[in-house]
Structure 1
């Protein structure tokens, strides 16, 4: 049997959640490992999403008082600094929530008020410092056409969010991981966790490839497999539903005609799907999301899903021949909680009966919330007794390949 590798904190999972936490922990004088079953980071759900940093308007739909709202809204002012330090692409494009009738307008008024009370008032629970956030505004039909000349003819106007950004989540994950590696975090790649044992407050993590990792604290950030990993130590205090989402990309000919993220609030007949079109960081356009409940192993792209995404794109931009400019369609999974109530929230907590173990479930808008996630986890680790001393010589810009 091989000698165990000893760490203060072991993070299971190298997606956006795991590497965000690793980068935050690399600022302290502790031994940290990230255990990832693939040969690189960010290759599962992180690599298959809409590429949005859901600032401002998109955060309107996050119910106040939820962790979903807190982490997303508090992450807004952190993104520009993070992009500057780690040199990953981040482009502010803004978002337009189309108003089709009075019912849409009333819904947007309610959400606008919610956002203001949640983040802009000085005594707001998630107050955003002045200068970090541009106020949302309503634009009329003429203003909307100036911004998006090809938009649907029955749009009366829109709620405009100038804060919304696009990025490349894979590059974000790689940048976070490489900075964590340069600051002392160890990455154990191509290591699939198959068993975990707990002896008091020490965990022994066994991988299919033969490694044994011992750690006092374990952070379960294993994405769509988070429930399976939690079951290994009886730490599953949540339920998730694996939702598969299909997105469709269109080429630069379409991409150059769309400048903002454009979508409409779903109505009953639209659910559970998302009706949105947006540019991506490389000049393409993207439409979706077609959502379906299925098995975790089902990554097939269905014709029905692609047709839905084309239909959505044509509804929002009727004059653009999307069907002639398809590049690809692809799928990814989201871990959706609270399926019984229909209102998703993040899970970032320690089960009462399993000490020093933190479960992480992000799901929708997880990339957007990632800058604040690491700070939230550090709060929990300190509450659990982990002593954190700032590391002398921490370099927020250094990079080192995680595979070296």
Structure 2
């Protein structure tokens, strides 16, 4: 134990005797480690932000809208438009075994909402009771629509968070009344804020019973059914069954509207499950690339440490010869130079990891969680583990090779070296 402490003392004296060289060597390694962790952390921030953004829409949601039917496959002449209907939604719920939930709604942005205090122009949505089960819509005050509201076509609304502030600035809204294109509705609930940043589209909506919407504010246009709706949004039984569920929905819609369900151009849809997977693959590839770049950077830093240690061995050749002539063993010489290389690498890596973690904490405190599509970078455990593992390997190589060179010196030849 005493011998090991003496060797460590010699290692630190050697590092301290060449302060500038040691600093520059350690800075290169620390910079490489910090860069690796920051780049991977930024990538994970984007990945997390995208996931959070999709989660604001709902869980495992597939959205389908009315589309156009080409006269012939892969041709875009003589296109015939079609609208989805309430019967389509009912058919999907009863005839698609791999769909666990489906909801229909009408969305109109040309209606005028007025309270006794102010007015607003956000979109008005006629929705079903199960809308919050498919789409993300938490309620902050009051309640959401229920089955009686739809069955009795009640004149009630739920306000989005931003619309609540616009229509009732600084005043209570529950139980109050608004008019939509002259029709009087009572406020029964207020939704929580949805999304982050300045994206207030979802927060400027007003929700009323779909049955009331069909009666008072149906879809407008020429030659469309009376029960036309804007969209049907559904969830597969499990995320892995998204393609099976889509095939079933395509078959139902195609049969009901008289076209081949294999005509992909006839469907206007968005599969958020597929989008999330694609985003995940992109960021996984980015992480692999950045991890590879980081490993190469650390390997180059290890080469630099090997060069520095070889220079150190050359400079201290006579010292090594003298120590061996006085009885120092090859093992003690090897241990000293090995520990010196390992300590240089290890301390550099720890400084890099702590520096990156500190910078991420500062960025998180400064940015918060309000940036749309982007979360603050965070220290990813696997990247830190990879950095430590690579540093350990580099430190062993960087310390062992020069140490072997020093330990193999013959005392007489070392003393004669100029």
Q: TM-score, normalised by structure 1?
A: 0.22
Q: TM-score, normalised by structure 2?
A: 0.21
Higher helix share: 2
Select the structure of larger CA radius of gyration.
2
Higher strand share: 1
